[in-house]
Structure 1
């Protein structure tokens, strides 16, 4: 277990959460993937994953202060976010099929930079499709277009 995983285990213990913390690499994610396996997932995930986002943010701030050489990590609980990313890729591929069929561009919902990157990567394998991020701030989204 790396320093990051150990520190997250300590943070969870202070919260009174029993969990197994696993760190590994995943191809689509260029930073370490850390999964928290626990029976108390609903408390850590929360409504619309807000608790999970907050836990990741706070954990990153603590770990960056203690270990300046750690460049980030992707925090998950019981594979919740990984499952969401798989759904996001499937949705992007469905949109790509519609774009192919109707030869018109379609916009996906607004999403954070990491999710937009996943969509761009998922659709990069389609030679007849191109993607572009448009908009600003929280309204930024991916447009899927037929390649000219």
Structure 2
């Protein structure tokens, strides 16, 4: 890892005095620096001749991560956040500064804007140490992990919507880290793509359907619902003839429908069956003359 060193030479009658003199020059405490003894103290001979004071070299190694942490600690103190613990976690190509302490929720800000601003400034300080790219991430209370899951869920939902509707959707402006999360998630949804638009603070992600993939959505007509050639209106039955819903009032259902009211309701939903009204049976008047139980017996001829 690249690093720089700050050093100071301290001189004193004893080693301890020389160390304290060197620390005062660095503005650090003795437990924060490392020492190298350059010269041991020597007493004068006979109290008059010779002798030499102690000389030590105090130095501290400055890494991009430590420089960023020192700068962040100074800013937080001026913001009124006292006693904030900064734990440096070295990762490939950079470091994560994990913050912990009491009442530090205000450091996050609205949708992480304050945290992102602090992260940007500390990143600039870290990159000035050896003039190379060194990525600094600031996290507190697992906010980054929670935000990442929220963005992944949003990206997946908007990508599926774009595939179904065939329309583009623009998200709110985000920093490069959050835009990268959106792009990675959208790539996992078949038929959806994403790209960035805008400049500086207004740069945002747009999610839309992939023109290279055949879409299953149907275009919408102006002022109406999607065109569907397989759609049948209620005025047309399965055999292509006009049904009862469009025939007008007073039209009697077909014979096969009258026999089964449930089938009629299934074919034309929402229109109840119209059974034939039951007519009261009138007594039949027998107009034939009253005849006796046995008719008149006629004798056969020839008897």
Q: Does 1:23 align with 2:89?
A: yes
Structure 2: distance between partners of 1:74 and 1:13:
14
Measure how far apart 1:40 and its partner are. Answer: 3.5
Moved more, 44-53 or 114-123: 44-53
Q: Show the counterpart of 2:197.
A: 134
Q: Identify which of 86, 91, 107 aligns with 1:44.
A: 107
Q: Show the counterpart of 1:35.
A: 98
Structure 1: distance between partners of 2:116 and 2:174:
14
SS in 2 for 1:144: strand
Q: Does 1:143 align with 2:241?
A: no
Measure how far apart 1:130 and its partner are. Answer: 1.0
Structure 1: state its 5+ residue gaps: none
Q: Show the counterpart of 1:87.
A: 150
Moved more, 127-136 or 49-58: 49-58
Q: Identify which of 124, 141, 147 aligns with 2:187.
A: 124
Q: Identify which of 155, 167, 173 aligns with 1:110.
A: 173
Contact 2:195 2:206 (8 Å CA) reproduced: yes
Contact 2:64 2:125 (8 Å CA) reproduced: no
SS in 1 for 2:164: helix
Structure 1: distance between partners of 2:200 and 2:67:
32
Tell me the TM-score normalised to structure 2 length. 0.41
SS in 2 for 1:73: strand
Give the structure with the higher percent helix. Answer: 1
Q: 1:54 to 1:116 in 2, by over 3 A?
A: closer
Measure how far apart 1:12 and its partner are. Answer: 5.4
Contact 2:64 2:134 (8 Å CA) reproduced: no
Q: Identify which of 102, 117, 120 aligns with 1:57.
A: 120
Contact 2:65 2:126 (8 Å CA) reproduced: no
Q: 1:23 to 1:4 in 2, by over 3 A?
A: farther
Moved more, 119-128 or 3-12: 3-12
Tell me the TM-score normalised to structure 1 length. 0.74
Which runs of structure 2 are paired with 1:59-74 in the superposition (5 Å)? 59-69=122-132, 71-74=134-137
SS in 1 for 2:135: coil
Higher RCO (C-alpha 8 Å, min separation 6): 1
> 1:64-104 deviations in whole A, cap 9, x for unaligned?
33343452222222222332122111111111121122232
Structure 2: distance between partners of 1:51 and 1:74:
13
